[in-house]
Amino acid sequence: MTRIIVADDHTVMRAGVVALLAPEPDIDIVGEAADGRQAVELAGRHQPDVALLDLRMPVLDGVEATAEIVAGGGNTRVLILTTYDTDADIERAVEAGAIGYLLKDATREQLVDAIHAAARGETVLAPRVAQRLVARMRQPAPVTLTVREAEVLNGVADGLSNGDIGKRLVIAEATVKTHLLRIFAKLDVSDRTHAVVVALDRNLITRPGRR
């Protein structure tokens, strides 16, 4: 038997979820909450296997409630059930300790399966959420320049030669060339002009006249 609590500040929605799950012989709904604080209190009192939480709730939102439930040291797994699927919402919930993230367009079978999977300690993600996370993970990491590399490239943007850049920064001309090679590699360019154009476009350096 999987024991759960259901938290949603919308009475009709909460009642609908409860009505959907009540006929399940192996799911026992031990409590209902109308806000995040009530959910935390219920989780502490009943120690359910799964806390099914809405994301946007008063007093404490779903993320804050998740963090407190997880920090409580019990074995309750938190499963978010929401209409929101933005990257920021998903990341906040996962970082807070939620084991799963479902959307409210899930079918009854999907919801029941997700609850049992969460109770077993398995990660559960709505297909659309999983796709967003995978796409985000595949994005290349943003390019950054060190402070010195930015100073060198600012010198290039100001029209200075390698020698003049070296004098400005009090470093050897050979060191300037080394920094430029690293900059070219990071920005995937092959010349000074292109490096400046790309760096300005990505806000990695400041435009001449604004420094």
- What CATH number matches the domain at 147-201, 3.20.20.210, 3.20.10.10, 1.10.260.40, 1.10.10.10? 1.10.10.10
Domains 2-138 and 147-201 in one fold: no
Q: Spell 71-103 as b/e; 16+ CB within 10 A means b.
A: eeeeebbbbbbbebbeeebbebbbebebbbbbb
The more confident residue out of 9 and 140 is 9
- In the block, which residue shows the tokens 């003049």? 164
pLDDT in tens, 22-73: 999 999 999 999 999 999 999 999 999 999 999 999 999 999 999 999 999 8
Can you give the residue ranges of every domain in the chain?
2-138, 147-201
| Residue 55 near residue 93 (C-beta atoms within 8 A) | yes
What's the Cα-to-Cα distance from 110 to each of 70, 82, 86, 104, 169, rounded to whole Å?
Answer: 24, 14, 21, 10, 62
Nearest to 60 by CA among 73, 43, 83, 77: 43
Rg, the chain, Cα only: 26
Stretch 193-208: mean pLDDT, rounded? 89
Residue type, 79: L
Residue type, 173: E
Per-residue model confidence (pLDDT) at position 209 = 59
pLDDT in tens, 168-193: 999 999 999 999 999 999 998 999 99
Per-residue model confidence (pLDDT) at position 35 = 97
The more confident residue out of 185 and 5 is 5
Nearest to 188 by CA among 141, 143, 136, 138: 143
Mean pLDDT, rounded, of the chain: 91
Q: Give the fold, CATH level 3, of 2-138.
A: Rossmann fold (3.40.50)
